Structure 1
Amino acid sequence: MRGMTKKKIKIGCLTLLLGFIVLTQIVSSCVSLTKSDREVAKYFRDKPVQPRSVFYNVDGYAIHYKQLDVAKNGTIVFLHGSPGGWDAFIDYFADSTLYQNVTVVAVDRPGYGKSEFGKPVGSIEKQAALLQPMLEALPAPRVIVGHSLGGPIAARLAMDYPDWVDGLVLLAPALDPRLEPNEDWFRKPMRWPLLSALVPKIIRVSNEELIFLEEELEQMLLLWPGVQAKTIVLQGGEDGLVHPQNANFADSMLINAQKEVIFLPKQNHFLPWNEYALVKQKALELMREFRQ
């Protein structure tokens, strides 16, 4: 009986996993996670300005970002979550109150979009190293806005390359390794060759990031005192993807940085869009401070 029970459990888990894969296939075919070049061109067709693509190489790994540099006296850089692409922040490029005051940049993080799509980089340290040359090429001061998994990558940039990061705006950031979910049982099976072949590539890239996230965040624990960039943290109280207590973690770990933690009790995970005005306001506030 016990053997039969274990067998049923395995069959049940496999059935759930296959169901999850089918669901991801349906979602990816019905709802595009990133915009095509044609969709981007259509979006900017009636806009007075539009960003240009910039590419660079780090040890044979190509990184792509979009840049709108009407103004050149400082830069706001947007880092998307997992999965995603630069166009998660496309509306910010159409906002004249932004692009008339600062250079606006959004990057395809490693493995996404035109940054070696399908070739994931699980290491947060390595992702930061791949993005650092972009910061060198951008006008100072530099404020990095990181959403979700983009949050710890922004923080790692401030830890490892403090001379290139002046301010941080962390939106629903996954920072505390103790708060990473343990119930994501499907992540390891998703790496099995047969099952992996059935999963959309963008989901595979995301899985390779998230499966190592707890360990990556643990490696950052001793580095938090090195963050000196002024930091603003926005966190929703009804966030179902990143634990709301990450805001408390950030508050406790930013011991050498000026900080502001804004807790939004009724807000969810999707702050770049649901709190667009507040995100823009806080990023510009930081920029004005650094210019004084």
Structure 2
Amino acid sequence: MKIFFYILIIIFICLSSTSCTVLQWRKSDQEIQKKFNHLEIESKISYVEVDSLDLKIRIQEIKSEGKNVNLVFIHGAPSSLSTWDGYLTDATLKATANMYAVDRPGYGYSNFGTPISSIDDQAQLMSAIINDKKLKNIIVIGSSYGGPIAARVGVLNANVKAVVMISPAIDPTNEKHIWASRFTQWKLTRWLVPTAYRVAGDEKKVHAKELSLIENDWKNLTIPILHIHGNTDNIVPYENIHYSEKTFQNIEVISISEKGHELAWKDSEFIINLITKRVLQIQKEN
């Protein structure tokens, strides 16, 4: 019991001495717009309301006339649309496609703190946003937990032409249990944990089950799928790449040596080049 008490004290001290803004993984509309205005990039933030769920989904758009390919970015956990800043500000991507980054339910400013743990329900919401925005020729990019959501959107929406999964947690039999996530579930410690981490813990608790519910539909996904994974990933096991190889029909896997779960951010230039190639391929096909 003493050990448990000491752990609580350590957690409390760590949380008290750390920026709440950082721990919540989100930026306000004003903070985002200030940054993009400074970079002289035209950015629009909007909210899609889902009355039946009493839900608002926040979207950031970077677009211009004449672009016929649309990129939709889906973040992992815990995170928010701001994690894609390096992509939304990239000159090459801006020159070739429109871009949309979304706060998933429970994160950022999409009903912060109220999760929707169903992968299918989240994908249905993303598909509805695509339809609401009347987007065509879409590449959905998902990182970590957002990877299987991106692939599921590809199953649901015929306007999706390709999927890029970065370090995705896609294999229901290879879910890594992170001991720290237990603090998000215990009543005694849950209140100590920052909101974004509680949402991530709620998703993690049922993630393997949610993956199992949708995996039989992967056979219906015939569009190009790209799975990129670092072979030293200690958050989402590298073995997920083997699941993708045997499960998806039209799959390309890229293994990155000596890289971990931070692949999407530390190797963004490499990934942006891969995304750009797929944009150009879709443009050629059209």
Match of 1:284 among 244, 264, 276: 276
Query: Residues 61 and 36 (structure 1 numbering): CA distance in 2 closer, same or farther, change over 3 Å?
Result: closer
Identity between Structure 1 and Structure 2 (%)? 28
The answer as to whether partners of 2:103 and 2:110 remain within 8 angstroms in 1 is: yes
TM-score (norm 2): 0.89
> Separation in 2 of the partners of 1:189 and 1:87?
26
Q: Give 2:88's aligned amino acid.
A: F
- Report the Cα distance in structure 1 between the residues aligned to 2:109 and 2:48, rounded to whole angstroms: 11
**Please, which of 43, 58, 67 is the counterpart of residue 64 of structure 1?**
58
Structure-2 residue corresponding to 1:7: none
Report the residue type matching 1:12 in the other structure.
I
Shift of the 262–86 alpha-carbon distance from structure 1 to 2, 3 Å rule, reads: same
- Hey, what does 1:155 align to over in structure 2? 151
Match of 2:245 in 1: 251
AA paired with 2:193?
V
Q: Are residues 152 and 202 of structure 1, via their aligned partners in 2, closer, same or farther at CA, if it must alter by over 3 Å?
A: same
Structure 2: state its 5+ residue gaps: none
Partner amino acid for 1:76? L
Q: How many equivalent pairs are there? A: 279
Structure 2 distance, partners of 1:195, 1:139, is 43
Counterpart position of 2:87: 92
> 2:43 is matched by which residue type in structure 1?
P
- CA shift at 1:275, angstroms? 1.4
> Quick one: which of 59, 72, 75 aligns to 2:70?
75
2:142 corresponds to 1:146? yes
Distance 1:158 1:24, change over 3 A: farther
Q: Say if 1:210 and 1:102 are closer, same or farther in 2 by CA, change over 3 A.
A: same
- Structure having the higher Rg: 1
Note the C-alpha offset of 1:18: 5.6
The question of 1:217 aligning with 2:208 is answered: no
Q: Give the counterpart letter for 2:161 in structure 1.
A: D
Q: Aligned to 2:38, what secondary structure does the other structure show?
A: coil
- CA deviations on 1:175-209 (whole Å, 9 max, x unpaired) are 11121124x45545533444322221111111111
Q: Are the equivalent residues in 2 in contact too, given 1:77–1:145 (CA < 8 A)?
A: yes
Deviations 1:114-161 (A, max 9, x none): 1111111111111111111111124321001100001011111122x1
2:104 equivalent to 1:113: no
Q: Give TM-score, length-normalised by structure 1.
A: 0.88
Match of 1:232 among 216, 226, 237: 226
Structure 1 unaligned runs (5+)? 1-9
